[in-house]
Amino acid sequence: MSSPNQQAGSSALRDGEKVPSPAIRADSHETVDAVQAARLARSFVREPELIRACLEPGNGAPVPNLETILAAAKQAILERPHYADLHYFAAEAALRHGDLGDARRLADGALTLNPQYRDALVLAGRVALAQEELDDAVRYVRRALHCGADYADVHVLLGDLSRARGQAAGAQAAYQRALSLNGSLRAARLALESVRAGRQDGGSDELPA
C-alpha cells in the first residue's frame, strides 16, 4: 500500500544505508508498449515504489523494457502531478535509461514538491556529477546532509565531488566520515587511501560543510 506521506515525498526507503542508485545505461531505443505502459501507469499511481521494483526485478519474472517503464512513470505523473515520490522514482528510471537531462528535471520536480526530500537531493547530486556540473552537485549533496542524509554513501559522494574539484582535504574528511559510519565500505577505504597517498593533486584545506 502507498506510504502515508507519498504526496509530500518519502525518504523512508532506507534501512541503515542508502539504496544503491541505478546504474546509468545508454538509451536503448526500445519500443514503448502503449497498452502495457497504460496498465503500469495505473499501478505506479497507486504505488510509486513499483517503478523501482520494475527496474530491479528479483524473482526472474519478465519485466517491461526501460522505454515502457519510463513512459508509464511519466504518464503516472500526469495523472498525479503532486506526488513527489512519482517524480523521484521516475527520475531513477530516467537515470537508468541514460537520460541525464530528464533525470535531473524529474528529481527537481520532486524537490519542488518537497525541498527536504533527501533521496531526491542525493539522486540530483549524482545526476549533476554525471553531467559534470560539480557546483550544482555539491549544493544538492550538502542540502541532503543538512536534511539528515548522514549516510556513508552520501559522504563518499561528497568526497568524490571534493576530489573532482581538487579539494583533497575536504575529500579526506568526507571519506573518513563515511568510514566512521560504515567501516567496511570498500569504496570509501580505497578512496581515502588514494587521497592519503597523494594521488590527487591540487588539494586544499577546505572541509565539506
Q: So where are the chain's domains?
A: 1-136, 150-209
Which residue in 83, 48, 85, 84 sits closest to 69, CA to CA? Answer: 48
pLDDT tens digits for 33-92? 889 999 999 999 999 999 999 998 765 656 788 999 999 999 999 999 999 999 999 999
Type of residue found at 143: R
pLDDT of 16: 39
10 vs 105: CA distance, rounded Å = 18
115 vs 118: CA distance, rounded Å = 8
Q: How many CA atoms lie within 13 A of 97 on its CB side?
A: 26
Superfamily of domain 1-136, CATH level 4:
Tetratricopeptide repeat domain (1.25.40.10)
90 vs 87: CA distance, rounded Å = 5
127 vs 173: CA distance, rounded Å = 23
119 vs 151: CA distance, rounded Å = 11
pLDDT tens digits for 3-49? 434 445 544 344 334 444 444 343 445 687 889 999 999 999 999 99
Region 124-145: mean pLDDT is 97
pLDDT of 59: 57
What nine digits make up the cell of 130? 554525471
Mean pLDDT score of the chain: 84
Q: What is the pTM of this model?
A: 0.80
pLDDT of 125: 98
